[in-house]
């Protein structure tokens, strides 16, 4: 059976974009793959995280996986920092990846902003750690949002260079799995920006912890234009806010955007937004409820993370041993 690895950063404000772009897709994959799902807390600290908040947010990612329907018996749920093999392989990959490759990473450029000199070295080397996350399990498939495609390309480059430099076939070439209508959920305040945990406006995102009232309020205030919904997808061009809301509806209802437009063609937003609110509350609301229940019992979540770490470490150990042998590290 092929192996899946994916990760979500525990940096707070888990939102609808994380759900539709990633977490939701983790569930169905369990039928066809051996799945490993990680709360990537080592990636999170590439930018400053308050320690207490980080601990809580790490549990929250695990709770979101569970609430969405990841089964901790079939799949592995764990926190990245609890399996040291990730950091060990990341160091080796730091020595395989080239500066020129990392210089091209758009996520680094976005996150570092204008003041690059002040970005952490970890933020720069972030993609190498991500490659290690995946390769330490020789995972073959990674479900991610569109924005992570470039990092997966880099993972393939690192795997290929490693294999090539050492004349081995140690690592497989990973394939991205990208799903559905809303792999890229945009801000409710600005359809040209991704929905983000760090947007200063709470109204830009729907979070896992929003109740019915706040979901309704945020969608009511969501920015739109003045025109009714068009008949075809073509009509959504140059209407980023409308396209985003239609995309969210399509993803939540498991329809194509065209199917949504066929239903709502000609409707004003005053009709569409309440329909979207009902749908979001129906589909997303119960997951938030379940997550809250899980968060009320942190010992339970911690037990699942602990068991997951043990199983993950057992899978990573032989791969890391093989890599060390190839690289020429002596055995203690």
Residues lying near ligand TRP in the complex (CB under 6 A): 5-7, 9, 40, 43, 130, 133-134, 142, 144, 148, 151
- Tokens standing for 13? 């404000």
The active-site residue out of 73, 109, 111, 283 is: 111
Least Cβ distance, residue 47 to ligand TRP (angstroms): 11
DSSP state of 96: T
The active-site residue out of 194, 218, 257, 273 is: 194
Residue with the shortest CB distance to ligand TRP: 7
Least Cβ distance, residue 52 to ligand TRP (angstroms): 22
Least Cβ distance, residue 142 to ligand TRP (angstroms): 5
Q: How many CB atoms lie within 10 A of CB 80?
A: 23
**Burial letters for 100-115: b for 16+ Cβ neighbours within 10 Å, e otherwise?**
ebbeebeebeebbeee
The active-site residue out of 138, 149, 197, 283 is: 197
Q: How many CB atoms lie within 10 A of CB 18?
A: 23
- Is 306 a known active-site residue? no
Residue 18 assigned ligand-binding role: yes
Q: Which is nearer to ligand TRP, 143 or 288 (CB)?
A: 143
Residue 185 assigned ligand-binding role: yes
Q: Which is nearer to ligand TRP, 151 or 273 (CB)?
A: 151
Give the whole-angstrom CA distance, residue 265 versus residue 113.
40
Q: Which is nearer to ligand TRP, 3 or 273 (CB)?
A: 3
Give the whole-angstrom CA distance, residue 240 versus residue 251.
16
Residue 133 assigned ligand-binding role: yes
Count the residues in the chain: 332
Residue ranges in the chain assigned as alpha helix (H): 16-18, 24-29, 41-44, 51-68, 85-94, 99-103, 106-112, 121-135, 149-166, 212-221, 240-253, 257-264, 269-283, 285-295, 298-327
Q: Which is nearer to ligand TRP, 88 or 263 (CB)?
A: 88
Cβ pair 39, 8 in contact under 8 A: yes
Q: Which is nearer to ligand TRP, 35 or 261 (CB)?
A: 35
Least Cβ distance, residue 183 to ligand TRP (angstroms): 12
- Is 111 a known active-site residue? yes
Cα Dmax for the chain: 71
Least Cβ distance, residue 93 to ligand TRP (angstroms): 12
Give the whole-angstrom CA distance, residue 100 versus residue 119.
17
Residue 194 assigned ligand-binding role: yes
- Is 197 a known active-site residue? yes
Binding-site residues: 9-11, 17-18, 133, 145-147, 185, 194-198
Which residue ranges make up the annotated binding site for L-tryptophan?
Answer: 133
By annotation, the residues acting in catalysis are 111, 194, 197
């Amino acid at each position: 059976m092929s192996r899946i690895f994916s990760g979500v950063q525990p940096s707070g404000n888990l939102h609808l974009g994380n759900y539709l772009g990633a977490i939701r897709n983790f569930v169905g994959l369990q039928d066809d793959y051996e799945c490993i799902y990680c709360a990537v807390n080592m990636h999170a600290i590439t930018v400053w995280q308050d320690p207490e908040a980080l601990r809580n947010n790490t549990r929250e990612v695990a709770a979101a996986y569970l609430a969405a329907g990841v089964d901790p018996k079939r799949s592995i749920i764990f926190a990245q920092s609890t399996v040291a093999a990730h950091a060990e392989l990341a160091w080796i990959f730091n020595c395989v990846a080239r500066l020129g490759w990392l210089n091209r990473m758009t996520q680094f450029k976005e996150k570092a902003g204008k003041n690059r000199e002040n970005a952490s070295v970890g933020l720069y080397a972030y993609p190498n750690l991500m490659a290690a996350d995946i390769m330490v399990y020789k995972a073959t498939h990674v479900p991610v949002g569109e924005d992570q495609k470039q990092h997966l390309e880099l993972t393939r480059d690192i795997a290929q260079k490693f294999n090539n430099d050492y004349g081995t076939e140690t690592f497989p070439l990973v394939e991205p799995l990208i799903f559905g209508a809303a792999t890229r959920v945009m801000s409710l305040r600005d359809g040209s920006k991704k929905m983000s945990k760090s947007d200063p406006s709470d109204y830009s995102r729907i979070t896992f912890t929003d109740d019915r009232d706040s979901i309704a309020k945020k969608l009511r205030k969501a920015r739109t234009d003045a025109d009714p919904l068009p008949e075809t997808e073509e009509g959504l061009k140059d209407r980023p806010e409308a396209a985003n809301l239609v995309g969210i509806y399509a993803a939540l209802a498991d329809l194509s955007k065209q199917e949504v437009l066929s239903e709502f063609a000609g409707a004003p937003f005053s009709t569409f937004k309440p329909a979207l609110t009902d749908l979001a509350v129906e589909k997303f609301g119960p997951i938030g409820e379940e997550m809250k229940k899980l968060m009320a019992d942190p010992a339970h979540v911690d037990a699942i993370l602990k068991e997951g770490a043990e199983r993950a470490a057992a899978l990573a150990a032989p791969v890391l041993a093989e890599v060390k042998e190839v690289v020429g590290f002596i055995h203690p």
